[in-house]
Protein backbone atom coordinates (compact mmCIF):
# COMPACT_ATOMS: atom_id res chain seq x y z
CA UNK A 1 0.00 0.00 0.00
CA UNK A 2 2.76 2.40 0.96
CA UNK A 3 4.64 1.67 -2.28
CA UNK A 4 1.48 2.33 -4.30
CA UNK A 5 0.94 5.64 -2.53
CA UNK A 6 4.56 6.73 -3.07
CA UNK A 7 4.37 5.76 -6.74
CA UNK A 8 1.15 7.75 -7.10
CA UNK A 9 2.67 10.83 -5.42
CA UNK A 10 5.78 10.65 -7.62
CA UNK A 11 3.54 10.53 -10.70
CA UNK A 12 1.57 13.57 -9.48
CA UNK A 13 4.76 15.53 -8.82
CA UNK A 14 6.23 14.58 -12.21
CA UNK A 15 3.00 15.51 -14.00
CA UNK A 16 2.76 18.84 -12.18
CA UNK A 17 6.37 19.68 -13.03
CA UNK A 18 5.79 18.72 -16.67
CA UNK A 19 2.79 21.01 -16.98
CA UNK A 20 4.16 23.93 -14.96
CA UNK A 21 4.37 26.98 -17.18
CA UNK A 22 7.26 29.43 -17.01
CA UNK A 23 6.65 33.17 -17.25
CA UNK A 24 8.57 34.20 -20.38
CA UNK A 25 9.32 37.35 -22.38
CA UNK A 26 9.76 37.18 -26.16
CA UNK A 27 9.97 39.37 -29.24
CA UNK A 28 9.16 38.50 -32.83
CA UNK A 29 11.33 41.35 -34.15
CA UNK A 30 14.43 41.06 -31.98
CA UNK A 31 16.86 38.34 -32.96
CA UNK A 32 19.27 38.96 -30.12
CA UNK A 33 20.50 42.21 -31.68
CA UNK A 34 18.98 45.62 -32.17
CA UNK A 35 18.44 46.91 -35.67
CA UNK A 36 18.66 50.56 -36.70
CA UNK A 37 14.96 50.79 -35.86
CA UNK A 38 15.73 50.48 -32.11
CA UNK A 39 18.72 52.84 -31.86
CA UNK A 40 18.46 56.39 -30.55
CA UNK A 41 17.88 59.24 -32.99
CA UNK A 42 20.11 61.96 -31.56
CA UNK A 43 23.45 62.46 -29.82
CA UNK A 44 25.27 61.27 -32.95
CA UNK A 45 22.97 58.29 -33.57
CA UNK A 46 20.70 58.05 -36.60
CA UNK A 47 18.34 55.31 -35.49
CA UNK A 48 14.56 55.41 -35.61
CA UNK A 49 14.17 55.35 -31.80
CA UNK A 50 11.33 52.80 -31.89
CA UNK A 51 10.77 50.51 -28.95
CA UNK A 52 10.72 46.81 -29.79
CA UNK A 53 7.61 44.69 -30.02
CA UNK A 54 7.43 42.48 -26.94
CA UNK A 55 5.08 39.81 -25.66
CA UNK A 56 4.95 37.61 -22.60
CA UNK A 57 3.36 34.28 -21.82
CA UNK A 58 2.13 32.37 -18.76
CA UNK A 59 1.08 35.25 -16.54
CA UNK A 60 1.62 34.33 -12.88
CA UNK A 61 -1.44 33.95 -10.68
CA UNK A 62 -2.25 37.10 -8.70
CA UNK A 63 -0.88 39.52 -11.30
CA UNK A 64 -2.59 42.93 -11.06
CA UNK A 65 -0.30 44.82 -13.47
CA UNK A 66 2.96 44.59 -15.43
CA UNK A 67 6.03 46.75 -15.77
CA UNK A 68 8.67 46.69 -18.53
CA UNK A 69 12.19 48.08 -18.33
CA UNK A 70 15.20 48.28 -20.63
CA UNK A 71 18.59 48.70 -18.99
CA UNK A 72 22.09 48.99 -20.50
CA UNK A 73 24.24 46.69 -18.38
CA UNK A 74 27.44 47.97 -20.00
CA UNK A 75 26.94 51.73 -19.97
CA UNK A 76 30.21 53.50 -19.11
CA UNK A 77 28.95 54.61 -15.71
CA UNK A 78 28.83 52.64 -12.49
CA UNK A 79 25.05 52.40 -12.30
CA UNK A 80 24.22 51.34 -15.87
CA UNK A 81 21.63 53.28 -17.89
CA UNK A 82 17.82 53.03 -17.95
CA UNK A 83 16.47 53.40 -21.49
CA UNK A 84 12.82 52.56 -20.85
CA UNK A 85 10.57 52.35 -17.79
CA UNK A 86 6.87 51.48 -18.13
CA UNK A 87 4.54 50.45 -15.31
CA UNK A 88 0.83 49.92 -14.57
CA UNK A 89 0.35 47.96 -17.77
CA UNK A 90 -3.06 46.29 -17.22
CA UNK A 91 -2.98 42.63 -16.16
CA UNK A 92 -4.98 41.55 -19.22
CA UNK A 93 -2.34 42.94 -21.61
CA UNK A 94 0.37 40.53 -22.74
CA UNK A 95 2.15 42.50 -25.46
CA UNK A 96 3.52 45.88 -26.40
CA UNK A 97 3.44 46.83 -30.06
CA UNK A 98 6.51 48.11 -31.87
CA UNK A 99 6.96 51.84 -31.11
CA UNK A 100 4.64 51.71 -28.08
CA UNK A 101 7.42 53.57 -26.24
CA UNK A 102 6.76 56.69 -28.32
CA UNK A 103 4.72 58.81 -25.91
CA UNK A 104 3.06 60.78 -28.72
CA UNK A 105 1.57 57.89 -30.71
CA UNK A 106 -0.78 56.44 -28.05
CA UNK A 107 0.15 52.79 -28.66
CA UNK A 108 0.75 52.10 -24.97
CA UNK A 109 -2.23 50.17 -23.55
CA UNK A 110 -4.69 51.26 -20.90
CA UNK A 111 -3.48 53.15 -17.87
CA UNK A 112 0.19 52.31 -18.46
CA UNK A 113 2.67 55.00 -17.39
CA UNK A 114 5.97 55.66 -19.11
CA UNK A 115 8.18 57.39 -16.59
CA UNK A 116 11.52 59.12 -16.81
CA UNK A 117 14.53 57.29 -18.17
CA UNK A 118 18.11 58.24 -17.45
CA UNK A 119 17.73 60.71 -20.34
CA UNK A 120 15.46 62.69 -17.99
CA UNK A 121 12.33 62.25 -20.10
CA UNK A 122 9.54 59.66 -20.23
CA UNK A 123 9.22 57.17 -23.09
CA UNK A 124 11.62 54.93 -24.94
CA UNK A 125 15.20 56.13 -25.39
CA UNK A 126 16.82 53.94 -28.03
CA UNK A 127 20.03 52.03 -27.61
CA UNK A 128 23.09 54.29 -27.69
CA UNK A 129 26.22 52.25 -26.95
CA UNK A 130 29.58 53.98 -26.87
CA UNK A 131 32.55 52.87 -29.01
CA UNK A 132 33.94 49.45 -28.23
CA UNK A 133 32.42 46.04 -27.60
CA UNK A 134 28.69 45.43 -27.93
CA UNK A 135 26.54 46.43 -24.98
CA UNK A 136 24.06 44.08 -23.31
CA UNK A 137 20.58 45.52 -22.95
CA UNK A 138 18.42 43.75 -20.39
CA UNK A 139 14.71 43.96 -21.22
CA UNK A 140 12.53 42.71 -18.37
CA UNK A 141 8.81 42.31 -17.81
CA UNK A 142 7.65 42.23 -14.19
CA UNK A 143 4.38 40.67 -13.03
CA UNK A 144 3.24 42.82 -10.10
CA UNK A 145 0.71 42.15 -7.36
CA UNK A 146 -0.61 45.73 -7.53
CA UNK A 147 -0.45 48.92 -9.56
CA UNK A 148 2.21 51.43 -8.56
CA UNK A 149 1.21 54.76 -7.05
CA UNK A 150 3.71 56.73 -9.16
CA UNK A 151 3.53 59.05 -12.16
CA UNK A 152 5.58 59.86 -15.27
CA UNK A 153 8.01 61.98 -13.23
CA UNK A 154 9.16 58.99 -11.17
CA UNK A 155 12.84 58.16 -11.49
CA UNK A 156 13.96 54.69 -12.57
CA UNK A 157 15.30 54.16 -9.02
CA UNK A 158 11.93 55.03 -7.48
CA UNK A 159 10.07 52.71 -9.84
CA UNK A 160 12.58 49.93 -9.18
CA UNK A 161 12.26 50.36 -5.42
CA UNK A 162 8.46 50.13 -5.60
CA UNK A 163 8.56 47.15 -7.97
CA UNK A 164 10.90 45.28 -5.64
CA UNK A 165 8.16 44.93 -3.04
CA UNK A 166 5.44 44.05 -5.57
CA UNK A 167 7.09 41.62 -7.99
CA UNK A 168 5.54 38.16 -8.23
CA UNK A 169 7.82 37.01 -11.07
CA UNK A 170 9.93 38.54 -13.80
CA UNK A 171 11.19 37.41 -17.18
CA UNK A 172 14.03 38.88 -19.21
CA UNK A 173 15.80 38.80 -22.55
CA UNK A 174 19.20 40.25 -23.40
CA UNK A 175 19.65 42.10 -26.67
CA UNK A 176 23.00 43.32 -27.97
CA UNK A 177 23.75 46.72 -29.47
CA UNK A 178 27.02 48.06 -30.86
CA UNK A 179 27.97 51.48 -32.18
CA UNK A 180 28.39 51.40 -35.93
* pLDDT 10s digits, 61-71: 999 999 999 99
> Parallel, antiparallel, or unpaired: how do β-strands 54-57 and 65-72 relate?
unpaired
Residue 70 belongs to some domain of the structure: yes
Contact in structure between 161 and 167 (CB atoms under 8 Å): no
Q: What confidence category does residue 17 fall into, taking pLDDT thresholds of 50, 70 and 90?
A: very low
**pTM summary value:** 0.88
Residue 169 belongs to some domain of the structure: yes
Output 50 or 42, whichever has higher pLDDT.
50
The parent domain of residue 98 ranges over 22-177
- When the pLDDT of each residue in the chain is averaged and rounded to a whole number, the result is 90
> Radius of gyration of the chain from Cα atoms?
19
Beta bridge partners of 70: 84, 139
Q: Is the dihedral of CA 3, 9, 13, 19 positive or negative?
A: positive
> Measured between alpha carbons, how far is 66 from 167 in angstroms, rounded to an integer?
9
- DSSP conformational letter for 56: E
Residue 38 belongs to some domain of the structure: yes
Residue 164 belongs to some domain of the structure: yes
Contact in structure between 85 and 116 (CB atoms under 8 Å): yes
Instruction: Specify the CATH number for the domain of residue 124.
Output: 3.90.280.10
The tens digit of pLDDT for each residue in 85-113 reads 999 999 999 999 999 999 998 999 989 99
* Count: domains in the chain: 1
The percentage of the chain sitting over the pLDDT mark of 90, rounded to a whole number, equals 81
pLDDT of 34 above 90: yes
The tens digit of pLDDT for each residue in 119-136 reads 999 999 999 999 899 999
Residue 42 belongs to some domain of the structure: yes
Residue 16 belongs to some domain of the structure: no
Residue 115 belongs to some domain of the structure: yes
Beta bridge partners of 172: 140
Beta bridge partners of 171: 141
- Helix (H) / strand (E) element for 18: namely helix 2-19
3-state secondary structure 96-150: ECCCCCCCCCCCCCCCCEECECCCCCECCCCECCCCCCCEEEEEEEEEECCCCCC
> Parallel, antiparallel, or unpaired: how do β-strands 24-26 and 54-57 relate?
antiparallel
Residue 141 belongs to some domain of the structure: yes
> Measured between alpha carbons, how far is 29 from 173 in angstroms, rounded to an integer?
13
Amino acid sequence: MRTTFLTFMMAVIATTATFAQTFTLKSRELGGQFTNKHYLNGMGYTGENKSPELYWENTPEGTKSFAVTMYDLDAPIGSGFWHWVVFNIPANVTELKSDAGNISNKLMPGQAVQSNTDMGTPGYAGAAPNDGPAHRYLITVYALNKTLDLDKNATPASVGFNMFFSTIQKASIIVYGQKK
